[in-house]
Structure 1
Amino acid sequence: MYNNSFFKKILVVASIAFLYSCDKDYNEIGAGLIGENNFNLEKETYDVIAYNQKTGPIQSNNLAVSPLGIFNNPNFGEVTANYGTQLTLVTPISTIGANAYIESVILTIPYFSTLTSSSTTTGNVYRLDSIYGVEKAKMKISIYESGYYMRDADPVGGFQQAQNYFTNQNTEFDNVKVSSRLNDAVDTAQNDAFFFDPAEHVVAVTDSLTNAVTTTRTAPGMQISLNRGYFKTRIIDAVASGKLATNDVFKDYFRGLYFKMEKAAGSAGNLAMLDFKAGKITIKYNEDLASTTGGSPTRVKKTIVMNLTGNCVSLLENNFGSSGLAYNALPNTGNTSEGDEKLYLKGGQGSVAVLSLFNTPGQLEAIRNSGWLINEASLVFHIDAEAMSGSYEPKRIYLYDFNNNRPIVDYYMDLTSNTANLKKAKTVFDGNINVNATSKKGLTYKIRITNQIRNLINVKDSTNVKLGVVVTEDISVFPSHKLRTPNSFITGAPKASVMSPLGTILYGSKSTVPVDKRLKLEIFYTKPN
């Protein structure tokens, strides 16, 4: 397995180096000829067949960020995003002192936020990022001990094959949740009237031993008190039996947390993207420390920290209702011969657009024989502005090799970077939304596939693969995730699309689409006079 993986990596690197050399030669040849005024820049457009393809349930485990909440998209219906995760002990525990008493059990998960103002007297003000829906919308959140064991390896595929978990497994987790919900505090903001609060946390804690008061300020995030008695029984009292001695034993004993979201009365809810793996449960407790000299024991403060790491899964429930009727009525696979009028790109358990280039017999061969030097080749997708007028718009879309579920050469060869935000890298490859300067609403997305087309022309045995287009949460994340039920049309989709809660509607390639909106392949080229 290791050797196969090693040679695959070598092959990929060698291929990229070869393609880069072709590109370099092309640029050098073109640069010299253009400098002598022997070339004129011209443009040609080509029809594209583009159609919708739904994914169905898709692998959603171990995502970098995951949605939590309820979001009603005007074009795609309502999605309820729940979550399941294992816990891992920062420090395994094999012994505990006498008379242990828990002071607090706090679950914390940071929100994505931006500091907008700061004051030593009034505190800090933040704006929450990656929130979709009405601000401060109330929801019911219930956090349970999970009874679902998330194994590492697939017993069917063997220990070499990782176990995958999928978007449509919410019922499986819900059916085996353990006992009552853990967030049962009197404060309803921690359960029945929960909302994503942008306020910074200001916590004053009085030490039970010294009565000293300590005040801490932290950026916005989920801070929920969990039932102390439950954790006394399940965690503190389990130390003596060895259940916390190693993480392998612990993860089998305490199988993690299950987050269940429901609507609160009179509220449609909203949804936030969260980095759950940055979350933790902190148990603060006191215990007696035995004297080493035979005297009375000393009362000491201790802490147990459990991170929200290990296996995890984003659990999505779609309710299309009236707002998602058109999308729900779409066939799983669109019109593969003529293309579809509208392309519906939806993240999560959603849909992709499939593109087929050079469908006219002899078209590609004619370009190969033309002597053209390709300066730029691109696909421009026009947004259905009317349909998307009341919707959140994805900031970026991503195009990939649909046949092989991997990036195309233009993705690899774009070395533009953004050290502050990797999501904004690869600006030449593009896919960023272009907006109206006044309304700030989306107009188009443009993706350059110059080297993909060059290779099709230069390397005559190269395959004219189908291309896929999806919404993306992060352009730097390119691996593919598997469908739960693959078929002859589709087997997987980009992981970054599964991470995204958004969708968009683009004009397709069918002949009934107005020419100025229709998806076309645009090629700018030069040729000898």
Structure 2
Amino acid sequence: MYNNSFFKKILLVATVFVLYSCDKDYNEVGGDIIGGNNFNLASTTYSVLGYNLKTGPIQSNNLDVNPLGIYNNPVFGETTANFNTQLALSSFVTSIGARPYVESVVLTVPYYIDETKTKTNANGSHVYVLDSIYGPQMAKMKLSVYESGYSMVNPGPITGYQEQTFFTDQNDLFDTKKEPTVLNDSDDDSQNNEFFFDSSEDVVDVKDSLTGVKTTKYIAPAMNLNLNKAYFKTKILDAISSGKLASNEAFRNHFKGLYFKVEKSGSSAGNLAMLNFKAGKITITYNQDLASTTGGAPTREKKTIVLNMSGNTVSLLKNDYTVSGSAYNSLPSVGDNVAGDERLYLKGGQGSVSVLELFDKKDIKGYDSNGNLTSGPNGVPDELDDLRNPGKGKKVLVNEANLVFHIDASAMTGADEPQRVYLYDFKNNRPIIDYSDPTSNVSFPKKSKVVFGGLLKLDATTKRGSTYKIRITNQIRNLINNKDSTNVKLGLVVTENIANTVSSKLKTANSFISQAPKASVMNPLGTVLYSGKSTVPDEKRLKLEIYFTKPN
């Protein structure tokens, strides 16, 4: 959620930036045109053809954040998200004392928190609201954590020094190879059979061993699971003397990682959370005897071994469309790339991408290098040709150009809405020029690049999503002013992180698509937008809006 006062400041800065940019470009582009009132402000809309492409299984290893849980989306069906990760030693251990005894083994993964809604009580405790949780609040599900039985090999001679590639549909590979013991076997059902994402903070009373003073620590909400102590005594402590904890390479060959598996718990629908597993860890606390250097009785000492959830990871997704009979499920792998689709279905994870083609395809005329009209097509849409050639000695000065996407509110009833969509160069799988927007948001990094846009705009009455607006001013200026520029197809996806523009490979590429933005794979949500097809009502239809100065 936005912090209102902070966001207003950001908007003010962004507005100044836009006005400055427009004025700067106006002067630069129009500097060679002499005269006083020889310009007219005008706005025009142009056609946009849009169609859908399903990605199918897609590369999902080493994502920035990963989903875990079960989410029933009324539009896109049910997603079950499991996860596998390697572990790494925070420090190497080469020796251990006598009579080692495991006191506790605790797995911790922090939750994302909506800090704008955090309340601090008089005693120093807090009331938190979790962020990036989808589905019914406190919905329960069965969570099982296993030792992974599949080796995710690091780049080296075995892999030809290439990163291993894993895909969203490979859950069976990890599930069938997991070790049989459930590690989170606490008697507390909230840690396994009736697990839920708890927003309560942990309250820990601490007594100073020297002064005896008691203090209370308040720890932000996190997944805290007590793991099987006997298992880790055998697997970890007993392996120290044989050198299994002397290096991370030796350790990962010995303990391949963790596999997180979720299942429905009774009639509960479950819910899903985005988690930063890389901030997670396992803390093993144990006691050992250290031999006395003076020949006396041994000293009992408390020690810890920390296993960080770093290294290779993979997000494992299962989509079930039978629960909703969704329109998304009935989409072909490739939509109507000739006439366009009426709706654009954007779905993260193992989902779908929309492709946009700017300007009407009609091409019955052309212009020569001097701007003279010629007969016959030239491979450039006539609408774009006319903008490039307004007349001898004249130029079209673009002040602003936008794409405004209207949400199909009826189709999205009851569904969580993505906070942002991302437009990119689909042909070359890279950002468009306007992505270079320098505006930032320190408190909410996902809300940076507000001039470029793509942020969800809410309807004032329904408080539901209304539109997404993306600014493509420089993209259009470049197309008009540089006649050699290609009018490339643009891709549109949901995004979890606007700063991440890396692409992930499709498991099965085709002649239309071979990769999609990685930040889309991270996002479990989807949305339904109206396209630019002529059968869509005019007030909802996707159009390219250009505000420009035309020479008289």
Q: TM-score, normalised by structure 1?
A: 0.91
Indicate yes or no: 2:384 matched with 1:382.
Answer: no
AA paired with 2:489? K
Check conservation: 2:44, 2:545, Cα contact below 8 A: yes
Q: Displacement, 1:61?
A: 1.3
Question: What residue number does 2:347 align with?
Answer: 346
In structure 1, what is the Cα distance between the partners aligned to 2:427 and 2:141? 41
CA shift, 1:28, in A, is: 2.4
Q: How does 1:126-165 map to 2 (within 5 A)?
A: 126-153=128-155, 158-159=160-161, 161-165=162-166
CA distances 1:395-454 after superposition (whole Å, capped 9, x unpaired):
111100001111001102x11111222211111111111211121111111111111111
RMSD value, Cα: 2.4
- Whether 2:515 is the aligned partner of 1:514: answer no
Shift of 1:245: 0.4
Q: Could you tell me how far apart the structure 2 residues matched to 1:169 and 1:34 are?
A: 64
Structure 1: distance between partners of 2:356 and 2:492:
8
Tell me the residue number matched to 1:17: none
Structure 2 Cα separation of the partners of residues 379 and 154 of structure 1: 45
Task: Tell me the equivalent position of 1:46.
Answer: 46
Contact 1:23–1:451 (8 Å) recurs in 2: no
Partner of 1:18: none
Structure 1 residue 205 displacement after superposition: 7.1
Structure 2 matches for 1:39-188, cutoff 5 A? 39-113=39-113, 114=115, 116-121=118-123, 123-153=125-155, 158-159=160-161, 161-188=162-189
8 Å CA contact 1:348, 1:501 repeated in 2: yes
Counterpart CA distance in 1 for 2:181 and 2:202 is: 27
| 1:105-504 equivalent positions in 2, closer than 5 A | 105-113=105-113, 114=115, 116-121=118-123, 123-153=125-155, 158-159=160-161, 161-204=162-205, 215-358=216-359, 359-361=361-363, 362-370=382-390, 371-412=395-436, 414-504=437-527
Unaligned runs of at least 5 residues, structure 1: 1-20
Tell me how far 1:154 sits from its aligned partner: 7.8
Equivalent-residue separation in structure 2 for 1:122 and 1:278 (angstroms): 25
Distance (Å, rounded) in 2 between the aligned partners of 1:422 and 1:37: 43
Distance 2:443 2:22 in 1: 32
Following TM superposition, by how much is the alpha carbon of 1:152 offset from its aligned partner in structure 2, in angstroms? 2.0
Residue 128 of structure 1 aligns to a residue whose secondary structure is: coil
Residue 45 of structure 1: how far off its partner (Å): 1.5
Q: What is the alpha-carbon distance in structure 2 between the residues aligned to residue 501 and residue 366 of structure 1?
A: 42
Q: Can you list the C-alpha shifts for 1:351-382, whole angstroms capped at 9, x where unaligned?
A: 01001123221332221101211111111111
Quick one: structure 1 residues 71 and 415, their matched pair in 2 at CA, closer, same or farther if it must change by over 3 Å? same
Answer whether contact 2:76 2:526 (CA < 8 A) is retained.
yes
- In structure 2, the CA distance between the partners of 1:37 and 1:154, relative to structure 1 (3 Å rule), is farther
- Is the 1:357–1:466 Cα contact (8 Å) retained in structure 2? yes
1:105 and 1:284 in contact (8 A); partners too? yes
**Deviations 1:24-46, CA, capped at 9 Å, x for gaps:** 66542447969943211112211
Q: More deviation in 345-354 or 385-394?
A: 385-394
What secondary structure, in the 3-state scheme, does the structure 2 residue paired with 1:175 have?
helix
Q: Find the residue that maps to 1:321 and give its secondary structure.
A: coil
- How many Å separate the matches in 2 of 1:240 and 1:120? 50
Deviations 1:459-499 (A, max 9, x none): 11112111000011121111111111222111111111111
- The number of equivalent residue pairs is 507
In the alignment, residue 132 of structure 2 is paired with which amino acid? S
Q: Deviations over 1:199-221 (max 9, x none)?
A: 1112347999x999875320111
Letter in 2 for 1:439: T
TM-score, normalised with respect to structure 2: 0.88
Moved more, 335-344 or 215-224: 215-224
Structure 1 pair 33/107, CA: closer, same or farther in 2 (3 Å)? Answer: same
The answer as to whether partners of 1:154 and 1:164 remain within 8 angstroms in 2 is no
Asked whether the equivalents of residues 153 and 159 of structure 2 are also in contact (C-alpha less than 8 Å), the reply is no
Shift of 1:22: 13
> Structure 2: which 5+ residue stretches go unaligned?
1-20, 364-381
Output the amino acid matched with 1:336. N
Secondary structure at 1:420's aligned position in 2?
Answer: coil
Amino acid corresponding to residue 403 of structure 1 in structure 2: K
Task: Please give the alpha-carbon distance, in whole angstroms, between the structure 2 residues aligned to 1:256 and 1:35.
Answer: 71
Summarize the Cα distance change of 1:380–1:179 in structure 2 as closer, same or farther, 3 Å threshold.
same
Instruction: Between 162-171 and 98-107, report the one with greater CA deviation.
Output: 162-171
